[in-house]
Amino acid sequence: MLRNIGLFCICCLLAGMWHTSVAARPLIIAANPQAPFKYEADGKVRGIDIEVMDEILRELAIDYEVMLIESDQRLQVEAKAGRIDVLLLYSQNEERRTFLEYPSESYIDLDWNFFIRAEDRGKFTFSTFDDLRSMTIGATHGISYIPEFWDAGLQLQLVSENSLQIDKLLAGRIDAVPMNTISTLHHAHISGYRNQIDFLPKPMKSKAYYNVFSKASTHPDMKKLKAEYDRIIRRMKDDGSIDQIKTTYIGPSS
């Protein structure tokens, strides 16, 4: 069972669930909305992470609800209190590990790749930043990228809005631009220009993200979920289930 609830109602709802029988309440999954991973569309909660978790929890026969909360601080407060059982799409750091338990398996790497026009496929390569010196590269004020990018002495065209970059690329005003890979592919897929863009295979940067478990959770099915989660994720990777889910949201791989 999926549910999307505004932040205004979150505290009351969580408090109400907390006072019901622990055995009776559903597993509470929560996330900050971000397409294509977890978001609301047409009144339903959708996304790559939602579909992956749905398959896991259906296999384990665990009833659950999903809440979208537009506040990372609130998500972490509720997880620390055990009122949220699972958080979606979190990277690792020392502070988070004090109240969150991380599985071994990740199926999402948040990569930043250099996007190019599809017609230029095979024309450009990226192994080091020296490979990009002959190109005009788009960049956006306020995005940190990585220090090596800014220090590479590339021919940069800067803009203030990252949303302008793909239009500039397709218009031929830049040759390549570093973008969040999955989010960019999702937008291209739903906007109908996926076949007009491609990306250079080596990411400029990459970081693994995880679905994580609250150490304070007292839900009776948490032990079963934590024991089986990695096994099911490995199986879904091996049988192509996760790739199929991703294709729904970002289109086929280049």
Answer for the pair 207, 182: CB distance below 8 angstroms, yes or no: no
Q: What pLDDT score was predicted for residue 20?
A: 47
User: How many residues would you count in the chain?
Assistant: 254
Q: What pLDDT score was predicted for residue 254?
A: 53
Which one has a higher pLDDT value, 17 or 234? 234
Same-domain check for residues 122 and 235: no
Mean pLDDT of 20-38: 86
Beta-bridge partners for 110: 207
With respect to residue 1, please indicate whether it lies within any of the assigned structural domains.
no
Q: What pLDDT score was predicted for residue 7?
A: 42
Same-domain check for residues 197 and 136: yes
Mean pLDDT of 174-188: 98
Same-domain check for residues 18 and 43: yes
Percent of the chain with pLDDT over 90: 89
Q: What pLDDT score was predicted for residue 252?
A: 86
Q: What pLDDT score was predicted for residue 13?
A: 52
Same-domain check for residues 44 and 134: no
* Domain that includes residue 23, residue range: 7-108+209-250
Q: What is the mean pLDDT of the chain?
A: 93
Mean pLDDT of 133-152: 97
What does the DSSP 8-state code read for residue 26?
P
Has residue 72 got a pLDDT over 90?
Answer: yes
Domains in the chain, number? 2
Which pLDDT tens digit goes with each residue over 41-60? Answer: 999 999 999 999 999 999 99
Query: Cα–Cα distance between 87 and 90 in angstroms, integer?
Result: 7
**CATH number of domain containing 27:** 3.40.190.10
pTM score, whole prediction: 0.87
With respect to residue 2, please indicate whether it lies within any of the assigned structural domains.
no
Of residues 230, 225, 210, the one with CA closest to residue 63:
225
Which pLDDT tens digit goes with each residue over 193-233? Answer: 999 999 999 999 999 999 999 999 999 999 999 999 999 99
Has residue 18 got a pLDDT over 90?
Answer: no
Q: What pLDDT score was predicted for residue 24?
A: 75
Query: Cα–Cα distance between 48 and 178 in angstroms, integer?
Result: 22
Mean pLDDT of 110-122: 98
Q: What pLDDT score was predicted for residue 2?
A: 47
Same-domain check for residues 143 and 18: no
Count CB-CB contacts under 10 A for residue 206: 12
Distance of CA 27 to the CA centre of its chain: 21
Same-domain check for residues 214 and 179: no
Residue 14 pLDDT grade (very low, low, confident, very high; cuts 50, 70, 90) = low
Same-domain check for residues 102 and 126: no
Of residues 7, 100, 8, 13, the one with CA closest to residue 65:
13
Rg (CA), the chain: 20
3-state secondary structure (DSSP) of residue 215 = coil
Q: Compute CA distances 39 → 3, 31, 250, whole Å.
A: 11, 9, 14
Same-domain check for residues 151 and 88: no
Q: Compute CA distances 105 → 28, 237, 242, whole Å.
A: 20, 10, 13
Same-domain check for residues 52 and 138: no
